Structure 1
Amino acid sequence: MHRMTRCLLAPLLLAVTALGVQAAPARAPAAAPAPSATPAAPVPLLWKVTGKGDAALYLLGSFHLLRAEDYPLAKVTDQAFAASQRVLFELSPADMASPQMASTLVQAAVRTDGRQLRDELDEPTWTRLQAYATANNLPLAQLQGMQAWFVGLSISIGQMTKLGLDPKLGLDQHFMQRAQQAGKQVGGLEDIQTQVAVLAGMSADEQRQMLVEALEQADKGDAEVRQLHDAWRRGDDAVLWNEMAASMRQKYPALYKRINSDRNDAWVPKLERHLQAGQGSSLVVVGTLHLLGSDGVVEKLRGKGYKVERLR
């Protein structure tokens, strides 16, 4: 389940990185292979929703950790940005830059029940975590007083950074910088407390599973991360949905509902306000999975009668 969590919670990824507790690479980050020619721009996961009068939304699916080689973006993506008066994100740029982001995350992650991480894990998982920590410079002693979800997320981020993927180069960060430079209006669909509560509200069993899956994916050599990043570059919504969301919705419906569909439901009324006459165009940059599937934002808006088309 950590696969979906790390792809849906962009602000928390950046905050965990800033805290400096994720696994440090045991070797230099893997550089992308040197291309023989300039790589094609990523095929965007981009939809246009036509509202009333001049109103329109451009819904852009983000990959929250990218490489410099993933830029520049496709021309149609740049056109959507240029056409938009405002840019909306999961969290506003002001919240992302606020010290409250990291402090709220730490408050939620620190254990207050008098127990330690070791007490929450069975012996095989604890042994496996110790081995991973030793091999990857993960400060396990520092993490003993933290919740299991935080440790699992830290491992996932560490593994992704080994592949040269960087949250500071994520699509969200890219457009936050561009919006500031262009003087565009910006906003967020959630606040800091809502973001953190998604993880802090996990049950103990869900947290342990998140940690175990993070360790399992690390053992697999991160082939899955490469697969998902490649699928994002190809604009392959089917692979992204099937590999990250469909199985989770079936196996862990309560967690899927909290991480994805409940948040989609909360966003749709906010987005509809930007589809009223006189609002102009808005670019919405959120985790790709929020846009996919029958309970994704794209289908929810289509179901309300709006014209929705994929742009390529």
Structure 2
Amino acid sequence: MRRFALAIAGLLLALPVSGSTPTPVRTDAPPVPLLWKVSDADNSVYLLGSFHLLRKSDYPLSADIDRAFDDAEALVFEIAPEELDDPGIAARMLQLATSNPASTIGQVLPTELREPLQRQARRLGVAPEQLDQFEPWFVDTTLVTLMAQRNGFAPEDGLDRHLMARARAAGKSASGLETVAQQLATLDGMPMDEQIDTLREFVEEGEGATARLEELHGAWRRADVPLLEQLTREDMADRTPVTYQRLNVDRNRAWIPRFEAMLAKPAGNDVLAVVGALHLLGDDGVVAMLKARGYRVDRVCTACDSRTTR
């Protein structure tokens, strides 16, 4: 499940893919939000755990999110909306993914992975020979996103994009915690053995990858924190520890001063922060880090309260 952790950790928002995007009809209640309110004496930062690839049928959102949005004077995302909308991002990704010929799939992929990769690529409508020029991290994220899109998920329907559009319509300011260049450097900096290991997991799983993504998506919709941690955080930390540190922990730590600066502003400056759900989970997540610094932290979840009182 490590490759799907990207779907709730970010780094997929700008990925250029194409394909069909069916929109299955759901009659479920809105997704249960992964939402926390962090407060000091006069300001609050709402922390909302996003899934960066969603279906149109995942909307409308919970009323808890609507209330947090209405209460916030500003929103913050991993990447500022104006930078995320830069049409040059795709070219930058392609350039980075081909910048080192010695690190491309054609050079580093173990022999035993070639046939499974070719089979998976063909299943997704990609000519295998087109992949040889790219590094493993780009091949993995491309195929995962394409597979997700063929099953009704899409970055443009992700929670981040949805709330960016709402912020724009409401005239609320929206900023970013980091830059596209920083996110791309994180992906490109993954150790080669861990890049290959993550790609191996995806290509060898074959058609079962869709069921695994559905499992992760279902856990996010239910706000099943223990299962989300098991499927993403714990697996990544155990099997690809350097990637986990760089993808999750280091970025969490870098964001903490930004959140503290938001809380330190004069009264009346509440913020809704939308980040990949992975960043909010566990002892090394943003929620735990801010709580350890003495801020008041409350879970905001009306549906959770209802379940508890039944």
Whether these two folds match at TM > 0.5 is: yes
Give the superposition deviation at 1:143.
2.2
Say if 2:106 and 2:133, in contact at 8 Å, map to a contact too.
no
Q: Deviations over 1:193-244 (max 9, x none)?
A: 1100111001221111121122134331521111111111111111111111
The one of 82, 87, 93 aligned to 1:99: 87
Alpha carbons 1:6, 1:153 under 8 Å: kept: no
Equivalent in the alignment of 1:47: 36
Corresponding residue number in structure 1 for 2:126: 138
Deviation at 1:138, TM superposition (A): 1.1
Contact 1:41 1:73 in 2 (8 A): yes
Show the counterpart of 2:276.
Answer: 287
| 1:237 aligned residue | 225
Q: Which residue of 2 aligns with 1:309?
A: 298
Q: State the secondary structure of the residue aligned to 1:308.
A: strand
**Residues 301 and 215 from structure 1, CA distance in 2 versus in 1: closer, same or farther, beyond 3 angstroms?**
same
Counterpart AA for 2:49: G
Aligned 8 A contact 1:89 1:285 in 2: yes
Equivalent residue in structure 1 for 2:256, among 237, 251, 268:
268
Matching residue of 1:5: 6
Number of aligned residue pairs:
299
Render the CA deviation track for 1:126-182: whole Å, top value 9, x for unaligned. 111112222321132222211111001111111211221111000000000000000
Task: Report if the CA contact (8 A) 2:48-2:274 is conserved.
Answer: yes
Secondary structure of 2:206 counterpart: helix
Unaligned segments of structure 2, at least 5 residues: 302-310
Q: CA deviation at 1:30?
A: 5.8
Task: Give structure 1 stretches of 5+ with no counterpart.
Answer: none
Residue 16 of structure 1 deviates from its aligned partner by 2.1
* Maintained 8 Å contact 1:88/1:187: yes
Distance 2:242 2:22 in 1: 36
Q: State the distance in 2 between where 1:187 and 1:218 align.
A: 38
Q: Percent identity?
A: 38
Task: Map 1:1-312 to 2 at 5 A.
Answer: 1-9=2-10, 12-18=11-17, 20=18, 24=19, 31-32=23-24, 34-35=25-26, 38-53=27-42, 55-113=43-101, 116-278=104-266, 280-312=269-301
Contact map agreement 2:51 2:220 (CA 8 A) in 1: yes
CA distance in 1, matches of 2:34, 2:140: 28
Secondary structure of 2:273's counterpart equals strand
